[in-house]
Structure 1
């Protein structure tokens, strides 16, 4: 069997391992094996094929890892659910204190309580949502 077939079998093995383990480095190794298969089709030298495999795999890993690390550490661009409500302004409908109250937030009426024990807000005042605790907005 020709070397290019073995390289494609190796690429398939790396791809299967990638799916099973979700390690992106294995995808880079699979791409390196495909490049080595192409080199095997052009050259019979096993040394050239191994060098192509090593160079392509290493280059892909060095190029993709910083991008993946940056994507993993940044917060998502689109917040949804209760995360999207934090930091928004609301209007007090019924007096809000440390135990109860009502606000209008994003067009809906929410139960609310103040963040501080001694804080209270009268109807008509603007408040900011600090967090969502179950179905209650914590405001300040």
Structure 2
């Protein structure tokens, strides 16, 4: 019993897909798409072995050449929407208890936070507005 070439290409595409899931290497997914293109070349167009290999190589290379740089740029960008403590950095807060280098309390985003001054020589009095520079654990660093 002979297996047609297009079926071998689909088996190869499935194997590459499984390897993609296991390793999380997107290039394997692009190679799998190339294998599917080669299967289509064999099954629907009746292309020979050389045509199948050429289609596999061209589609795989084109996908890697086009998609990979786009994915790299996308991965390097910071998220547009800040969440969690990143969303609190740069916000203004109101001092509830005197804040200095050793501590104090502020009202930040409707919640009471412990805080300390970024500059050890500075002191912030009750009612004063401060800017949140960073969050360390449950303590806001203000200036």
Instruction: Please give the TM-score of this superposition, normalised by the length of structure 1.
Output: 0.95
SS for the counterpart of 1:8 is helix
Partner residue of 1:38 out of 23, 32, 40? 40
2:15 aligned with 1:4, yes or no? no
Q: Which runs of 5+ in 2 are unaligned?
A: none
Q: Which runs of 4+ in 1 moved over 4 A?
A: none
2:100 aligned with 1:113, yes or no? no
Instruction: Please give the TM-score of this superposition, normalised by the length of structure 2.
Output: 0.93
Structure 2 residue aligned with 1:84? 87
**Alignment map for 1:15-54 (pairs within 5 Å):** 15-41=17-43, 42-54=45-57
**Alignment map for 1:39-78 (pairs within 5 Å):** 39-41=41-43, 42-78=45-81
Aligned residues: 140
Q: Which runs of 5+ in 1 are unaligned?
A: none
Offset at residue 78 of structure 1 (A): 2.4
Task: Please tell me the root mean square deviation across aligned C-alpha atoms, in Å.
Answer: 1.0
